[in-house]
Amino acid sequence: MGRLLCVDFYKIFRTKFFYVVSLILVGFNVLISVTSVLAGLRNYEKFAFFESKSGAWSVTYANFSNIALLLAILSVLFLCSEFSHGTMKNIATKGFPREFIYLSKFFVGLSCAVFYLLLTIASSLISSLIAGGNRLPSYYSLPSNLALTLLLTLFFLAVYVSIALMIASLVRKSGNSLAIYVVASTLISFLPDLLDNFIRNTLNWDFSISSYVYVRCFNEITQMGIVSNIPSADIVRYVCVGGFFLALTLIIGIYYFRERDI
């Protein structure tokens, strides 16, 4: 497992797309931070996040959601390139358990998530501080729920990596995998809302499916984490929903990766 990880890290650091994705992420973060700080300063009262004690951090939190799609693309490209180059054969013929080969990719994706999280924090904080000049409130105080939010964000990024790897190991072609990933995540972000409408308006039940879908949970964490302390009921819900999707996609991904020909 150690050797697999070593080789996978070497491979990903030698790809162009790792650096391209990192650059795009930084670009997004800077753009969004600067524009929202400038807009926020003009319409002070409309932007709730500036009322909190730590202005620059609220922009940073919002930028965490930029990571998900880019990280998924990176994971898909990484796994699919092994199939398209045929290099998966070089690993799979050496008697490593297939589970380990797959998990090694997952851990590399997870490490990239940590790296991108740090990169997002650095680029968002620095650019919003520069854009805000002296006018942003409380630059330097850390949000009280920082550690919790970071942990939950990382947990949900792991879900995104796992979904991307599952699709990549099922489809194997990078173009097709990316298309399927985009279509699937679009569907999963609005279908539950439609169902919610149906349940509320037609069946008159007070129940929301979308709260139990990972997309909504991740949005809640990144968009609302800063304004309030997260209620413990929500934390439990996040952990359960994230854990469910993580386990499900890992099991499906590993199962198919193990059973299919390479």
For position 212 contacting another protein by CB under 8 A, the verdict is no
Residues 88-147 that bind another protein (CB under 8 A): 88-97
Cα within 13 Å of Cα(95), Cβ side: 0
> Least separation, in Å, of the C-beta of 16 and another protein?
7
- Sequence-ordered list of residues with C-beta below 8 angstroms from that of 215, at least 6 positions apart, any chain: 185, 188, 189, 192
**173 sits near another protein (criterion: CB under 8 A):** no
89 versus 135: smaller Cβ distance to another protein:
89
Nearer to another protein, 87 or 186 (CB): 87
Tracing tokens 């939010």 back to the chain, one arrives at: 149
Minimum distance, C-beta of residue 88 to another protein, in the bound complex (Å) = 8
C-alpha span between 190 and 193 (Å, rounded):
5
Rule CB under 8 A: which of 79-98 touch another protein?
A: 85-97
Count of residues in contact with another protein, rule CB under 8 A = 25
260 Rama class: left (phi>0) / alpha (psi -120 to 50) / beta: beta
Q: Is 1 in the site for another protein (CB under 8 A)?
A: no
**Ranges within 34-63 binding another protein (CB under 8 A):** none
Helix axes 214-224 and 232-259, enclosed angle (nearest 10):
140
166 class by beta-carbon count within 10 Å (0-12 exposed, 13-18 middle, 19+ buried): buried
Binding site for another protein (CB under 8 A): 3-4, 6-7, 10-11, 14-16, 85-97, 259, 261-262
